[in-house]
């Protein structure tokens, strides 16, 4: 009450909440993007809640997200503090969690230099092409395990780009290490898993204290995280020293022999962020693509017809074909829109008081853009639940709908620095898969057809629920192309 009295404008509307705990009990726990959409219908495009005294605003429309997070990016680009994952385990060093400041700016500068434009990413395209070719070979040999191969390929591409590291066919120690760190990360960020996140003061209790299991866990997880950042970095450093390094994010930056220790640290942690930010997201997009193709056979046929006309059936598509493949290009955009892999993006934090659309947003407010809802906004996307690439093509009397990449990759100074790499790998997978495989509904032993439901799991990165589909080469010629030399 006292707070409101001093406010230069009213707070945005939102559910009322309780003393002290605020709106904790109002928070949606499953598919939160749908719960937040309901809030939007009731309270408007900017909804205010308070979680144990922490102000939070949820943005539900494309316009308000762009106006705040893109146009006022200089004040809306900090991140909240995550006590357990960030401060105690050390994820706060990794780009997505860095507070707004010099280290953050340096990290973004480094990613921009190596992968910030279509041109800078060119040097990595042959590698992406080679890995994707290997992917379709594996899927052809063992289609039941397509999900594992999507995951393996995304990991191999990122480790190659970040460190010039070639993943081994069988169990690879580095992949095992980075996967362990990522698994621990998802435990760390499970909502309400650690009391210390709600009450940061608890971080001061001594390690030996009976209730301090979280502190001992933090020590163990910190070691995994440090290894994840250090082991591959030292590998590249060794390769650069002996002149045997493949071009990669780390090697290109380490070629500069006058680096300070601080700069080296920045390269090390930024490279670590690439795996964290780039593997699971790409996996979810490509798995979503397989789901959409299973459910929308007519879309698949149109894309294949375009590939047959433009690329032909004597070779596999390559990155350069994209500009001649408007339908496949639109299909990739529709994958980003239909199920955005980060339905709520990552939270932004406001660094000074703001007044927006007549409402007061206090300094320190955590701002969540409901990217899922923005990409299913009926005023922007007609019939938003349907998978329809046509929406991104112009036709007589019809303009294409808004490019979803403006939202699915986040906002302002925090928007995804991996966009160009994600684009290259996802396009390559979609185009190669469509040119050589037919994806159809799986058929049970008794002849019944299995229609997967379009359901998605919770999580910062949300994947389709596991589903079955049938993946078969389109023809003998396609089969030969799949098994042709890389």
Measuring CA to CA, how many Å separate 272 from each of 125, 299, 345, 416? 21, 37, 19, 15
Among 136, 273, 291, 481, binds ligand HEM (CB under 6 A): 273
Among 274, 303, 367, 368, binds ligand HEM (CB under 6 A): 274
Residues 58-117 that bind ligand HEM (CB under 6 A): 95-96, 108
Mask for 369-408, x = binds ligand HEM (CB under 6 A): ---------------------------------------x
Of 266 and 438, which CB lies nearer to ligand HEM in the complex structure?
266
CB 73 within 8 A of CB 65: no
For the record, the structure tokens of 418 come out as 């991996």
Q: With binding defined as CB under 6 A, does residue 421 bind ligand HEM?
A: yes
Among 153, 236, 281, 380, binds ligand HEM (CB under 6 A): 281
Q: With binding defined as CB under 6 A, does residue 331 bind ligand HEM?
A: no
Length of the chain: 486
Mask for 196-235, x = binds ligand HEM (CB under 6 A): ----------------------------------------
- What value, to the nearest 5°, has the Cα angle with vertex 446 and ends 443 and 449? 30
Among 55, 418, 464, 473, binds ligand HEM (CB under 6 A): 418
Q: Tell the smallest beta-carbon distance from residue 456 to ligand HEM (Å).
A: 14
Q: What is the phi/psi pair of residue 51, to 5°?
A: -110, 105
Measuring CA to CA, how many Å separate 36 from each of 404, 439, 448? 20, 34, 38
**Stretch of 13-21, 277-285, 292-300, 323-331 lying at the interface with ligand HEM (CB under 6 A):** 277-285
Torsion of Cα atoms, 142 then 472 then 338 then 444, to 10° = -80
Among 249, 234, 50, 80, which residue's Cα sits nearest to residue 164? 249
Residues 140-159 that bind ligand HEM (CB under 6 A): 158
Among 345, 404, 464, 473, binds ligand HEM (CB under 6 A): 345
User: Has 416 been labeled as part of a binding site?
Assistant: yes
Quickly tell me which residue has 């990016």 as its tokens: 73
Measuring CA to CA, how many Å separate 437 from each of 296, 304, 322, 430? 15, 9, 18, 10
Among 409, 437, 456, 467, binds ligand HEM (CB under 6 A): 409
Give dist(CA 277, CA 274) in Å, integer. Answer: 5
Q: Tell the smallest beta-carbon distance from residue 370 to ligand HEM (Å).
A: 12
Residue 49's DSSP bridge partners are 56
* CA 363 to centroid of chain Cα atoms: 27
Of 303 and 346, which CB lies nearer to ligand HEM in the complex structure?
346
The count of chain residues that interact with ligand HEM, using the rule CB under 6 A, is: 28
Quickly tell me which residue has 């709520």 as its tokens: 344
CB 346 within 8 A of CB 96: yes
Question: 306: how many CB neighbours lie within 10 A of its CB?
Answer: 21
**Stretch of 30-38, 261-269, 276-284, 301-309 lying at the interface with ligand HEM (CB under 6 A):** 276-284
Among 50, 83, 415, 462, binds ligand HEM (CB under 6 A): 415
Among 411, 427, 437, 467, binds ligand HEM (CB under 6 A): 411
Residues at the annotated binding site for heme?
416
Binding site for ligand HEM (CB under 6 A): 95-96, 108, 158, 273-274, 277-278, 281-282, 285, 341-342, 345-346, 348, 408-411, 414-418, 421-422, 426
């Amino acid at each position: 009450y006292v707070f409101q009295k001093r406010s230069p404008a009213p707070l945005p509307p939102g559910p009322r909440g309780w003393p002290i705990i605020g709106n904790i009990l109002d928070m949606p726990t499953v598919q939160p993007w749908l719960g937040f959409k309901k809030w939007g219908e009731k309270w408007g495009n900017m909804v205010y809640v308070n979680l144990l005294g922490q102000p939070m605003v949820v943005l539900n429309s494309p316009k308000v997200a762009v106006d705040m997070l893109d146009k006022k990016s200089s004040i809306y680009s900090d991140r909240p503090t995550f006590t357990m994952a960030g401060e105690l385990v050390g994820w706060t060093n990794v780009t997505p969690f860095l507070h707004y400041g010099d280290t953050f700016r340096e990290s973004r500068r480094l990613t921009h230099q190596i992968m910030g434009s279509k041109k800078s990413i060119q040097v990595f395209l042959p590698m992406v092409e080679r890995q994707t070719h290997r992917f379709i070979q594996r899927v052809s040999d063992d289609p039941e395990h397509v999900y594992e191969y999507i995951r393996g390929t995304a990991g191999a591409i990122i480790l190659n780009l970040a460190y010039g590291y070639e993943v081994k066919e069988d169990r690879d120690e580095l992949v095992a290490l980075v996967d362990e760190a990522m698994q621990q990360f998802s435990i760390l960020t499970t909502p309400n898993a650690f009391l210390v996140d709600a009450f940061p003061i608890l971080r001061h209790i001594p390690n030996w204290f009976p209730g301090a299991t979280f502190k001992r866990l933090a020590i163990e997880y910190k070691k995994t995280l440090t290894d994840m950042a250090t082991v591959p970095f030292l590998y590249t450093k060794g390769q650069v020293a002996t002149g045997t390094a493949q071009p990669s994010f780390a090697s290109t930056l380490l070629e500069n022999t006058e680096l300070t220790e601080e700069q080296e640290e920045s390269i090390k942690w930024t490279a670590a962020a690439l795996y964290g930010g780039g593997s699971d997201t790409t996996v979810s997009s490509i798995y979503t693509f397989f789901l959409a193709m299973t459910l929308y056979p007519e879309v698949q046929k149109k894309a294949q017809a375009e590939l047959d006309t433009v690329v032909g059936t004597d070779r596999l598509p390559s990155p350069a074909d994209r500009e001649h493949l408007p339908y496949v290009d639109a299909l990739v955009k529709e994958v980003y829109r239909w199920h955005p892999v980060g339905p709520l993006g990552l939270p932004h934090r406001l660094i000074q008081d703001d007044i927006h659309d007549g409402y007061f947003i206090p300094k320190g407010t955590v701002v969540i853009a409901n990217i899922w809802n923005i990409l299913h906004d009926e005023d922007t996307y007609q019939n938003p639940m349907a998978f329809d690439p046509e929406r991104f093509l112009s036709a007589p009397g019809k303009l294409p709908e808004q490019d979803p990449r403006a939202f699915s990759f986040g906002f302002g100074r925090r928007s995804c620095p991996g966009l160009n790499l994600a684009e290259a790998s996802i396009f390559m997978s979609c185009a190669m898969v469509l040119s050589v495989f037919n994806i159809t509904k799986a058929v049970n032993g008794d002849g019944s057809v299995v229609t997967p439901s379009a359901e998605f799991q919770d999580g910062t990165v949300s994947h389709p629920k596991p589903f079955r589909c049938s993946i078969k080469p389109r023809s003998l010629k396609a089969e030969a192309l799949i098994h042709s030399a890389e």
